[in-house]
Amino acid sequence: MMKKILTASSKTKLSNFFSTIKENSKETQNTLTLYMNYLVVTYAFVLPITWKGRSTIFLFILFLFLARRNFIYYLKDSFKNPIVQSFLLYLFIHFLWLFGTDNFTQAIKMIDYAQYAVIPLIFLSFVTKEFSYKIIASFAAGVFLSEIISYLVRFQVLPQKLDLFSKNLYTILDIHDPTPFLYHSQYAITLSVVIALFILKLLNKNNSLQIKIISFIFIATATINLSLIGGRSGYLSYIFLAITVIILKFKSKALVPLIFTLLIILTISYTAYNNSPMFKSRIDYSIETINKLNHNIYDFNSSLGTRIAFWYYGLMVVEENLLLGVGTGDQLDEVKTLVPSTDTYITQHPHLHSVYLSQLVQFGIIGLLVYLNIFFQIFKYNYRDENAKEIAIIISVGIMIATLTETFYTKYYLAVFGTMLSAVLATKTMSFTYQNTNIKKELSAYFVIFITTSLLIFIQ
C-alpha cells in the first residue's frame, strides 16, 4: 500500500514539474537556468579529462535548454554579442562552401568539428556572473587532476593503463611522456594556458597571500610537468603566454619585468634540458629536423617537416584558389594531389595540422579572415572588468598558438575556447533562487552530476 502511495506521489510530482515547464513559469525557468550553470561548471571540469563525459553533460545542457523554452528571449542578447557572431560566421562558412565541395563525406566531418562554434551562443544565454570564475576554476581543477595522474604514472605509483569495471580510464603509451587523457600537444597547450592564468593570479595585487602561494605552487609543479612531456607547441605557448601576461599586467612599464621573465624562462629551459630526457630529446629532435631542412628543404620526413610540407603544398593550392578556396572538406584531397607518392609519411596524415592553412585552402582569403575575425572581436571587445579581459586574451593567445600546428579535428580546442569565453563574457546575474543556495547544496549538485555522468559512461 505504502509503495503505491509513494509511486503515485512521485508520478504527481513529475507530472507537476513537466506541466510547469509547459506553462513556462518564471520560477521554473530560473531553476533550469541554475541547473544549467551547475552543468557547465561540471562540463568545464571534464573538458580536459574525458570526451564521453563532455558529450554526455552537453546533452544534459541541451535538454534543459530546450525544456526552459522561451528561446528568442534568452538567445537574443547572446546573438547580439560580436564575439558570438564571429563564431557563428565561422560555422556558417562551412555550410555555405558545401556548394563547392567534391568530397561531401569529408565536408560533413568538417561541419561536425565546427559545430562546437555554437557553444558561446547557447552558453551565454544562461551562464551568469556568479558562475563565471567557477567555470574557469573548475577547468583548472580538471587540468590539476590530469597533472597529478601524470606525476603518479611518471613515478610508477599508478600503472600506465588503468581499467575500472572493464572500462579504460586512461592509457599512457610512454611512461616518459605521461599525458593521461589528452594527446601530448593538447595537454601541453592546456597546461601552459592554465599556468598563465595562475601567473595572472600571482601578479594580481588584490589577491590574498594564500591565493598567491597556491598559484605559485601550481605554476612550479605544472612547469615541471610540462618539461616531462613531449608537446613542443606547449613549450612555445608557455613562452608567449608568459610574455603576454607580463605585457597585460605592466603595460608601458613591462620592459624590466619582461627581461626578468625571459631570464627565468632561460633558466627553466636550461634546467629542463639537463634534467628531463623527454624535453632534451624533443629539443634535439627539433634542432636536427631544422638542420636537415637547411641541407634539403624538401626533406619532410619528420613531424615538423610534415607541417612545413603541408604549408608548402597547401600554398600552391591557395595560389590557384586564392579568394574562395576549394570548398568545405576538399582541402586534404587537393593538397595530397601535389604530394609525391613516395612521401608516404605526409600522405598518411588525416588533416593539414593547421586551422589557418585549413581555412585558407578550403575558403581562401575570405575563410582566413573569418577565422582571424574571431580574435579581432575578442581583442577589441568591451569586457565587464579588466580581469575578464585579461583571461579572454590569455585563452585566445593560447588557441592562436595551438592552431598554428593543430586543427579543430578533435573538437577539443573549440569546446575549450567557447566555454572559457562564455564564462568571461557573462554579464547576467542569477535570480533570487541562487541567493538561497548554500555551498553544501551546490557541491552536492556537482557531485550528483559527476557521478551520474560517470555511470552513464560506464554503462555505454
Question: Which of 110-114, 164-168, 290-294, 389-393 reaches the highest mean pLDDT?
Answer: 389-393
349 secondary structure, DSSP code: -
pLDDT of residue 1: 45
Residues 132, 122: one domain?
A: no
With CA atoms as reference, report the closest residue to 214 among 196, 228, 201, 227: 201
Residues 216, 334: one domain?
A: no
Last residue of a domain, one of 269, 295, 321: 295
d(CA 197, CA 218): 10
pLDDT of residue 324: 93
pLDDT of residue 2: 44
Q: Does the pLDDT of residue 4 top 70, yes or no?
A: no
Residues 113, 221: one domain?
A: no
pLDDT band at 241 (very low <50, low <70, confident <90, very high): very high
Q: Does the pLDDT of residue 245 top 90, yes or no?
A: yes
In a domain, 315, yes or no: yes
pLDDT band at 403 (very low <50, low <70, confident <90, very high): very high
pLDDT of residue 3: 46
Q: Does the pLDDT of residue 358 top 90, yes or no?
A: yes
> What is the three-class DSSP state of 86?
helix
Q: Does the pLDDT of residue 34 top 80, yes or no?
A: yes
Give percent of the chain with pLDDT exceeding 90.
Answer: 56
pLDDT of residue 436: 59
Domain range spanning residue 392?
81-126+299-429
More confident site: 460 or 148: 148
16-25, 141-150, 311-320, 349-358: segment of lowest average pLDDT: 16-25
pLDDT band at 43 (very low <50, low <70, confident <90, very high): very high
Q: What share of the chain is helix, strand, coil (3-state, %, to 5)?
A: 75, 0, 20
Residues 60, 100: one domain?
A: no
Residues 181, 196: one domain?
A: yes
CA dihedral angle for residue 380, residue 386, residue 391, residue 393, rounded to 10 degrees: 30
The angle that helices 232-250 and 277-295 make with each other, rounded to 10 degrees, is 100
68 grid coordinates: 526552459
With CA atoms as reference, report the closest residue to 316 among 357, 271, 284: 357
Partners of residue 105 on adjacent β-strands: none
Q: What angle do CA 278, 281, 286 make, to 5 degrees?
A: 125
Last residue of a domain, one of 295, 327, 344: 295
Q: Which helix (H) or strand (E) holds 161?
A: strand 161-164
pLDDT band at 171 (very low <50, low <70, confident <90, very high): confident
CB burial class (10 A; 0-12, 13-18, 19+) of residue 41? buried
Instruction: Classify 168 in phi/psi space as left (phi over 0), alpha (psi -120 to 50) or beta.
Output: beta
Q: Across residues 343-362, what is the average pLDDT?
A: 85
pLDDT of residue 100: 82
Last residue of a domain, one of 236, 268, 295: 295
Number of folded domains that form the chain: 3
- Please list, in sequence order, all residues whose beta carbon lies within 8 angstroms of the beta carbon of residue 307, skipping any fewer than 6 positions away: 353, 354, 405
Taken in order 33, 39, 45, 46, the sign of the CA dihedral is negative
Taken in order 51, 52, 56, 62, the sign of the CA dihedral is positive
Q: Across residues 275-290, what is the average pLDDT?
A: 87
More confident site: 248 or 457: 248
Partners of residue 164 on adjacent β-strands: 167
In a domain, 17, yes or no: no
pLDDT digit string (tens) for 202-226? 999 888 899 999 999 999 999 999 9
pLDDT of residue 16: 54
Average per-residue pLDDT in the chain? Answer: 87
